[in-house]
């Protein structure tokens, strides 16, 4: 059984999270520049067994796609063509940034640490992954 990798796509930065090999826990991995996402994915999937990639899809409150969905769809297509053997799953990511900020506050992070967008992005990816894992149960 391989890992599940989650992507919180952003136009400039992308947060990543991954499960352990048993798919029990979701862990924030890192935040990278979005321009480096595809080469990073190719390298990571060569080194680690990844069975599924979950990509967050931001929806508006009325259920319609947000303005970043076209960029996410383009990225998703590139991932599918570059890694055709790994299924890519779309997962609703509404409120993940808000939940990430709340988790940072609850975890005692300072205001300065909470302003670090890289921390928010990888934590948002972790929340997407945790939600996805819960949906499988």
- C-alpha distances out from residue 50 to 32, 95, 104, 115, Å: 18, 26, 28, 31
- Give pLDDT, residue 47: 96
- Give pLDDT, residue 93: 77
- Give pLDDT, residue 118: 65
Place of tokens 């890192």: 30
Decide which of 123 and 48 is more confident.
48
- Give pLDDT, residue 68: 85
| 3-state percent breakdown (helix, strand, coil) of the chain, nearest 5 | 45, 25, 30
Neighbours of 53 (CB within 10 A): 21
Q: What structural domains and CATH numbers belong to the chain?
A: 3-136 (3.30.420.140)
* Per-residue model confidence as pLDDT tens digits over 71-99: 999 999 999 999 999 999 999 876 555 55
Q: Which of 29-38, 63-72, 90-99 has the lowest mean pLDDT?
A: 90-99
- Give pLDDT, residue 17: 97
Per-residue pLDDT at 48 exceeds 80: yes
């Amino acid at each position: 059984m391989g890992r599940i990798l989650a992507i919180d796509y952003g136009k400039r930065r992308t947060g990543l999270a991954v499960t352990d090999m048993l798919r029990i826990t979701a862990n924030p991995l890192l935040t990278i520049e979005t321009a480096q996402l595809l080469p990073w994915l190719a390298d990571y999937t060569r080194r680690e067994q990844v069975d599924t990639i979950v990509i967050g899809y931001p929806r508006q409150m009325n259920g319609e796609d947000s303005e970043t969905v076209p960029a996410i769809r383009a990225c998703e297509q590139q991932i599918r063509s570059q890694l055709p053997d790994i299924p890519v799953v779309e997962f609703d990511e509404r409120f993940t940034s808000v939940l990430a900020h709340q988790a940072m506050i609850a975890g005692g992070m300072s205001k300065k640490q909470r302003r670090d967008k890289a921390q928010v992005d990888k934590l948002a990816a972790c929340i997407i992954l945790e939600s996805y894992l819960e949906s499988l149960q």
